A and B are shown apart, each in its own frame.
Chain A
């Protein structure tokens, strides 16, 4: 079975999970105690108004009918209408998702780019000062709330040093005309990177720390494997052993952790967006909860779930790509 069919099969396997997410969020949203209609219409609406709204949002129908309707809508890409914004939820998500994805992807980029070398060096120079520094950094990294890192960075780099802007994220694909100081695409990209730096580090630190820990222990483990001893016994240089013989095996647990970190990163992004006032999915869901805008809550949760599931499928495929022992055929 080739890797494309494997990918397809993994995607199909994800369908029940997505269905489960939809069901859970639907049930939770419908358990929300407040009456959204009252929020929309203010304190003393007329009976006719209330019923009109209820009918419009399908609230007058029994739960299972609404569930089926919601599923049917989902299949057509219809996530319902936001009660607060009065626009389709999908439209709102389309506005907000890019910023969140940008943040998550760049934080993973930052985490991988720093953690992999750090973990490898740490394993190679086990118990050296480099190793100790790396271990302390990763320990503090996994123990610090990302939003506090964000706050502290704003304090130092924005207020005291003035090196970075604190708010108003610029998207790298924004037209140069949208920015006062930008003339070319390069300007926009630079401005975007400038804005993105602090949120990325703030969100990525936890990932970085977690990956460093895994990278280190995975490298230590593979470096003590029999096949590494064999390579050594056949005169392979330590450099080649580190880069080839041990490295590839050691990435397997790292890939696994990357998959699991997606969910942490999504949660962390909610906080990071709040700290840096980024208009992303996180701020959308927090605001919607405050406003009992349950179609938006459902929509964002479902999209989060989709992002996670896709992320896991991608990591699974990378895993299968690195490890020939993963059978593309039968599961488990």
Chain B
């Protein structure tokens, strides 16, 4: 008896353990690259990018090891690394897919200025005319040099009443447009990007993030004492972390100054696309079960593996097909969105393996290859497109060129590679829609809950259907009216005949 009971007991415990273990192993199964579906569920996808090579100081044969590099800039086939800790800029040339060679090391420049050295350069940009713009953060200036490193001019602290005399100017990130106007992200300036005209005059602030108004806090402030007020956070716009100017001259800006609850309530946008007036024109049309798909990185912000909170987007870059990628320094992930704000892929993570980061800080691209700079590892990771990624980009390119049939076929191949890739279904649907195959397009949109595109297809389908069946529709409507009318008429006639005196004999 005792044996039987203990056996049942062990069996029960074993079953319990098995149940628990099977559940946990299922939950932890996440691939290197993933995506979110309509329901916000994580869907593993094939790799979109794979790390081709990781370059450290040793691989690059540098005389001095990189020291806390802060920025990366790509111009044609040259890669510039801001070796901030060593006060210099390293120019690398990409000679083949997997090799970077040191071209020159820029430590000083020539010209008519006292201080010809950098102090902690954090970013640079090269204009169309070939002039160098360097954010010399430690010296509080933005330098403009010609391509032979001769000094041309500086952009200094903006003369604005809102900036006190005691504030030091610390330009950290810069972008330059085609007319050599400079837009700068500076530490402590939260009114947006500092804009300079080409001649160096300060032209105002561009694209301040709108202030989040909190009614509860407003009420609190009404009753708070002076001491409490000073301890409270003030309503100020958030600073940008980084900016990127795309091929059309729009500025993509991102900020890591976000709070979880603001993101979830849709009060702040960490990624913005600014037009000339500084208005946010980023499209957020992704399909999601509650509203539009959020462009703020990871949807789930729970803690795990020592990381918690929202994605902290620290750098952004945009390809010529309007796909933009942001870099999350919190979990070391890359998020890529297409021009409609739909998530293309998420990859990366924290760690020491190739393709994982410890403290990523900079992101740029060459063609469709991505370069990620890690300030703690002092390494540059080069990502190249996989076959899967190339398929997706090809399908998008074909669609934009108007080759809808080919685009549909390419998306079909994407579906074969990954049946959980929502964008592929919508891509096939959009291609079918342009080919006027409305019914098939509707089926694809319905599969992935794309109600906007479904409605577009259905509207056309309905129109065509009505036009084809107009005769039947008219007949049915007439019948609906005429049949009861005739029946009524006949009945009343019968009644009249029956009750009429004329027929009474």
Q: Do A and B bind each other?
A: no
Q: CB within 8 Å of B: which residues of A?
A: none
Question: Could you tell me which B residues sit within 8 Å of A by CB distance?
Answer: none
